[in-house]
Amino acid sequence: MAGVNTKPAWNPPEMPEISARADLALLLRTLHSIGYDDVLSGHVTVALGDGTMLVNPFELSWQEVSASDIVLIDIDGSKLEGRYNVNPAIELHASLRRSRPDIVVAIHNHPRWANVWAGAHRVPPIYDQTSAQIGAELVLVDEYGGQFNGASSSDSAVKLFGDAEWGILANHGVLVTAPNIAQAFLRAYTLEWRARRAYEVEMLGGGIPVDAEVAATFGARFDRLGAPLWWETARRAQLRRDPGVLH
């Protein structure tokens, strides 16, 4: 009928109350399931707005973290609360927050497919719609030394990362930032999807990338509007597998 809005309303199933710690635990488990699974490597921080951050425990793989395992640290990476320790490479997050206090969520890991491109010092092209879900430029950081063994190397990586939203760290892994957990998940998911799809296309002998302007326009919109929907879906999947993650 003319004039009637037939667009369906977003009406997801009801969710239980989820604390900030539980939301981080859900993010960790979800990322592990899509390839961010390098045993005990990697770290994710969530800034709480009061000078403190939540971070995953060093002793647990991301697939086994529950809300009560999350560690509270100060802006310099020192532990304030929690029974587990903090990854020694946490200085990357401290340096990042000193340079970019606007960042809420930061993810670093060595996911399977993105690390193929990290080894090649290349940014994977965009060959399909899902790979185009993020409009921000994916940067390559390739001059910082390949590891985070103190303030100097972390500061160097952060300086080269600049004002980027996400990037590939040459011979190392990825760095993904976001203003909230929903966008952090979408960006991390899209990065690994894009890396795998580009590898597969190039193994066929190459393909035709999505037009850069089309990809940027689509990604700028989807990154903001699609993220909450995708994150709700991912959270429900994890809760079905193990409701105990909330505790």
Alpha-carbon span 185 to 189, nearest angstrom: 6
* Position 123 in a domain: yes
Residue 1 in domain: no
Q: Using only the alpha carbons of the chain, give its radius of gyration.
A: 18
State the angle between helix axes of 181-203 and 227-241 in degrees (0 to 180), rounded to the nearest 10: 90
Q: Can you name the residues that pair with 106 across neighbouring β-strands?
A: 45, 177
Q: Residue 244: its pLDDT value, please?
A: 95
**Residue ranges in the chain whose pLDDT is less than 50:** 1
Could you tell me if residue 163 is inside a domain? Answer: yes
Residue 12 belongs to some domain of the structure: no
> What residue numbers bound the domain in which 103 lies?
20-241
79 within some domain: yes
What's residue 1's pLDDT? 42
Considering the domain boundaries, does residue 56 fall inside one? yes
Q: Is residue 102 part of a domain?
A: yes
The two three-digit tokens of residue 233, written as one number: 């879906």
Domain count along the chain: 1
Report the predicted TM-score, pTM, of the whole model to 2 decimal places.
0.92
Q: pLDDT at position 156, please? A: 86
Return left, alpha or beta for 224; rule: phi > 0 is left, psi -120 to 50 is alpha, else beta.
alpha
Give the CATH number of the domain where residue 55 resides: 3.40.225.10
pLDDT at 120: 96
Q: In what order do the strands lie in the sheet with 173-178?
A: 79-81, 71-74, 52-55, 43-47, 105-109, 173-178, 166-169, 138-141
CB atoms within 10 A of CB 109: 24
Note whether residue 11 is domain-resident: no
Give me the pLDDT at residue 3, please: 52
Which pLDDT score, from 0 to 100, does residue 152 have?
Answer: 72
Supply the pLDDT for residue 153. 76
